[in-house]
Amino acid sequence: MGRKKQSRVTLQEVAKHAGVSRATASLVVRGSPNISKETREKVLKSIKELGYIYDRVAANLRSHQSSTVGLIITEIGNPFFSELLVGVHEALDKEGYTVILGTTFDSPDKQDALLATMLEYRVGGVIMSPVPGSSPDMVERLKQWGIPVILVARKMLSEEPFDYVGIDNVAGGRIAAEHLIEQGHRRIAFLGGFSNSSVWTDRKKGFCEAIEQAGLEMDESLFVQSPATRQGGIEAIKRVMQHPQPPTGVFCYNDVVASGVMLGLKEQGIVPGKDVAVVGFDNIPESALFSPSLTTIAAFPDRLGAKAADLLHRRMKGDEEEAKKLILQPELVVRESS
Amino acid sequence: MGRKKQSRVTLQEVAKHAGVSRATASLVVRGSPNISKETREKVLKSIKELGYIYDRVAANLRSHQSSTVGLIITEIGNPFFSELLVGVHEALDKEGYTVILGTTFDSPDKQDALLATMLEYRVGGVIMSPVPGSSPDMVERLKQWGIPVILVARKMLSEEPFDYVGIDNVAGGRIAAEHLIEQGHRRIAFLGGFSNSSVWTDRKKGFCEAIEQAGLEMDESLFVQSPATRQGGIEAIKRVMQHPQPPTGVFCYNDVVASGVMLGLKEQGIVPGKDVAVVGFDNIPESALFSPSLTTIAAFPDRLGAKAADLLHRRMKGDEEEAKKLILQPELVVRESS
DNA sequence: CTGAAAGCGCTAACAT
DNA sequence: ATGTTAGCGCTTTCAG
């Protein structure tokens, strides 16, 4: 019935209750081995009786440590990122870290603000998917303060080498194009995303390599940039299908774009997977459900997240080795759309 | 280049550099109006020059305030929750709060552990979707410590009334059933989810009300519980279609289950939306993309999240009024599957 | 193995 | 409008 706010019990009080000093009580809460079994039990008992709650904030302040890590992603709406989040979260949880989450929605200002906030909160490390084209200044500043930063899924253009965990987007683009070529397609479009992102340029690079290697004509008008959203996909496919010589195969920047592309095709009475082949990227869980189910390039976001978390953990433990790059290989998943 | 870790500049040093006292410098960083323009500028200049970073952790410790809030959900995999997260996050960001995220994966132990961790981190408030059947003890404990808790999307069984933001699940169940009845269905199943959750019982309640009101037979074998996952949906529909008198309409616990149900139907050569009508719940963005597109009950998770955040903000500002219940009305979204 | 004292970086409550 | 003093709750020396 709305009991009044109690003030927190302090370690001091616990110590008094147990008849030991504050320092001893502190050792007990931290599970130090240099404490006799008796005292430990005495203190533990007092903790229970008084309802003591460890104040991690005060402890971190004093000990100059931090068990919080910041995670910065662009948007949670894209299942790719929500799975990444899951991967990071699970791995970090296991090590006893607490995660502070931030979303940039691809705004460089928001990204800087988030990093600043995380600095103020004394995070011990940061895992982030940088906003395309954003400046590495803030990130370098963090590193200067001794706060390790792991880039995940997206690279950053910088002199300084950063730790990075991602997939081989060039290979992914190549595999996608090769698959479409193998299916007999000669005019293949690349739709969605913007060229300011390293992900886009890498996927395009692999895509072009395969096109050229197959001796196909490279038609720049088959590259249509658009927001990496469903709506962006709808618009991109409509635009490219107005081409006098429309493509028979489409490689999409990601699965979300691909979902829009298939929607846009249907609206025009074109059957995806039959009239026009569609290949996505990421292999989000939903892609198996689309109609037709989507052929795509699996990017394993959860694994990416877990790897990034592991690497960060090592850095926070004091691993000072040179910047590492962890690149996972993507895999083709063939379904009905191609 | 690995420059060595610098130690943080303190307010003390800023004050000395600017030739003022620590207290004055403190007032400046907090934007107090009782500071002359000159001193403010002097201090601000020193801050820039020294690269000072405000230590929010120390400040919170001293001032007994907290600008972090905990957000506890079950799983980010379900788009319903990722949208909820977006809603909460945006609203809280605007007010300058920082969000600590936790996921329970529907484990009561994990939920208690998360709440304990959040207590240790001195969160100023918590927004959570409780694990079905979990005990309210921890939550009541938080409230005892003066930490407001807002329940969102799921209720908790407790003597104590809690603040709660959710949708009218009874109405949602009723609307869904009424729609199917209107379409001429006489045997309607309710698939997915478990009866230990308030959400399930509420949706079922509304569902049953409509069935009874229409004078239809209530067949308990048409209620199949299963995990609220795609796989759960597949299993549930397979089970119920083995019934000697299978249903012609299906109301699913949520859209994720519905996606599995439609998959399961297709596997058996049954065409969802034609042979069997399917209605989901939540209106996750993907539901428009399913094939056939899914008729569903919109639950507006982002609005739910935003409302919960607003309410929490008011509580943290000291609003001591009695527990509030905010119930949004769901809406029927008719698409091809029914 | 335990205790006493000092102090992390900041703000509150006075003074002036 | 600014300075002084005290202390948030904890950990870290350093003694013993």
Q: What is the pLDDT of residues B103-129, one digit of tens each?
A: 998 999 999 999 999 999 999 999 999
Which nucleotide lies nearest residue A62, CA to C1'?
A: C8
Calpha distance B164→B162 (Å, rounded):
6
pLDDT of residue B5: 53
Which nucleotide lies nearest residue A27, CA to C1'?
A: D11
Taking alpha carbons only, the member of A261, A298, A296, A256 closest to residue A280 is: A296
Report the Cα A61 to chain-centroid distance in Å. 29
Closest residue, CA to C1' of C6: A62
Buried b (16+ CB within 10 A) or exposed e, B290-304: bbbbbbbbbbbbbbb
Q: Which nucleotides of D are covered by protein (CB under 7 A)?
A: 1-13
Distance CA B61 to C1' C11 in A: 9
Distance CA A44 to C1' C2 in A: 16
Distance CA B43 to C1' C16 in A: 21
pLDDT of residue A290: 85
Task: Tell me the shortest Cα–Cα distance from B87 to chain A, in angstroms.
Answer: 11
Mutate to test the interface with B, among A29, A63, A97, A121 (most CBs of B within 10 A): A121
Strand D closer than 7 A to residue B62 Cβ: yes
pLDDT of residue A5: 53
> Which tokens is A44 given?
């533990």
On whether the CB atoms of residues B139 and B129 are closer than 8 A, the answer is no
> Which tokens is B282 given?
């939540």
Helix crossing, A255-267 with A79-94: angle to 10°? 160
pLDDT of residue B319: 87
pLDDT of residue B1: 36
Calpha distance B50→B322 (Å, rounded):
48
% of chain B exceeding 70 in pLDDT: 98
Bridge partners (DSSP) of residue B276 are B272
Q: What is the pLDDT of residues A250-283, one digit of tens each?
A: 999 999 999 999 999 999 999 999 999 999 999 9
Q: What is the pLDDT of residues A286-331, one digit of tens each?
A: 898 888 899 999 999 999 999 999 999 999 988 889 999 999 999 9
Residues 123..152 of A with a Cβ closer than 8 Å to B: which? 143-146
Conformation bin of residue A227: beta by default, left when phi > 0, alpha when psi is -120 to 50: beta
B190-194, B275-279, B287-291: least confident range: B287-291
Residues 277..296 of A with a Cβ closer than 8 Å to B: which? 285-286, 289-292
Tell me the mean pLDDT in the region B140-164: 91
% of chain B exceeding 90 in pLDDT: 84
Domains of chain B: 11-54 (1.10.260.40), 66-167+301-326 (3.40.50.2300), 169-300 (3.40.50.2300)
Q: Quick check: B307 pLDDT over 50?
A: yes
Strand D closer than 7 A to residue B120 Cβ: no
Task: Tell me the shortest Cα–Cα distance from B119 to chain A, in angstroms.
Answer: 7
pLDDT band, residue B7 (cuts 50/70/90):
confident
On whether the CB atoms of residues A332 and A179 are closer than 8 A, the answer is yes
Interchain CB distance below 8 Å, B101 and A103: no
Closest residue, CA to C1' of D12: A63
Calpha distance A92→A86 (Å, rounded):
10
Taking alpha carbons only, the member of B126, B134, B122, B205 closest to residue B170 is: B205
DSSP letter (8 states) at residue A225 = -
Helix, strand or coil for residue B136?
coil
Tell me the mean pLDDT in the region A109-124: 93
A8-12, B150-154, B240-244: least confident range: A8-12
Of residues A3 and B117, more confidence is placed in: B117
User: Helices (DSSP H) in chain A: which residue ranges?
Assistant: 11-18, 22-29, 37-50, 56-63, 79-94, 108-120, 137-144, 169-182, 198-213, 230-241, 255-267, 301-316
pLDDT of residue B141: 87
Closest residue, CA to C1' of C7: A62
Q: What is the pLDDT of residues A86-101, one digit of tens each?
A: 999 999 989 989 999 9
Q: Using omega within 30 degrees of 0 as the cis cutoff, is the peptide bond preceding B108 cis?
A: no
Strand D closer than 7 A to residue B37 Cβ: no
Write down the residue that tokens 């600590």 correspond to. Answer: B100
On whether the CB atoms of residues B229 and B199 are closer than 8 A, the answer is no
Residues 201..260 of A with a Cβ closer than 8 Å to B: which? 230, 259
Relative to beta strand B296-298, strand B331-333 is antiparallel
Mutate to test the interface with B, among A84, A120, A293, A320 (most CBs of B within 10 A): A120
State the CB neighbour count (10 A cutoff) for residue A316: 19
Q: Quick check: A2 pLDDT over 50?
A: no
Q: Using omega within 30 degrees of 0 as the cis cutoff, is the peptide bond preceding A108 cis?
A: no
Task: Tell me the shortest Cα–Cα distance from A174 to chain B, in angstroms.
Answer: 28
Taking alpha carbons only, the member of B208, B201, B210, B203 closest to residue B183 is: B210
Q: What is the pLDDT of residues B36-94, one digit of tens each?
A: 999 999 999 999 999 999 999 999 999 988 999 999 999 888 899 999 999 999 999 89
Which nucleotide lies nearest residue A18, CA to C1'?
A: C2
On whether the CB atoms of residues A248 and A277 are closer than 8 A, the answer is yes
Residues in chain A: 338
Tell me the mean pLDDT in the region A40-58: 93
Q: Which nucleotides of C are covered by protein (CB under 7 A)?
A: 1-13
Report the half-sphere exposure of A172 (CA within 13 A, side-chain side). 32
Task: Tell me the shortest Cα–Cα distance from A41 to chain B, in angstroms.
Answer: 21
Looking at beta carbons, which residues of chain A come within 8 Å of B109? none
pLDDT of residue A76: 83
Calpha distance B234→B237 (Å, rounded):
6
pLDDT of residue B6: 61
% of chain A exceeding 90 in pLDDT: 84
Interchain CB distance below 8 Å, B86 and A103: yes
Calpha distance B210→B204 (Å, rounded):
10
Q: Quick check: A248 pLDDT over 90?
A: yes
Q: Quick check: B251 pLDDT over 90?
A: yes
Residues 71..110 of A with a Cβ closer than 8 Å to B: which? 75-77, 79, 82-83, 85-86, 89, 98-101, 103
> Which tokens is A185 given?
């397609």
Q: What is the pLDDT of residues A167-181, one digit of tens each?
A: 999 999 999 999 999
What rounded mean pLDDT belongs to chain A? 93
Strand C closer than 7 A to residue B54 Cβ: yes
Q: Quick check: B4 pLDDT over 70?
A: no
Q: CA A111 → CA A130, A304, B62, B81, B198, distances in Å?
A: 8, 21, 28, 23, 39
Helix, strand or coil for residue A20?
coil
CB–CB contacts below 8 A, A to B:
125
CA pseudo-torsion sign A173, A179, A182, A186: negative
> Which tokens is A295 given?
């052929």
> Which tokens is A193 given?
């995303």
Strand D closer than 7 A to residue A7 Cβ: yes
Q: Quick check: B2 pLDDT over 60?
A: no
Distance CA A61 to C1' D12 in A: 12
* DSSP secondary structure letters along A73-140: ES-SSSHHHHHHHHHHHHHHHHTT-EEEEEE-TT-HHHHHHHHHHHHHTT-SEEEE-PPTT--SHHHH
Tell me the mean pLDDT in the region A239-249: 96
Interchain CB distance below 8 Å, A100 and B103: no
Strand D closer than 7 A to residue A66 Cβ: no
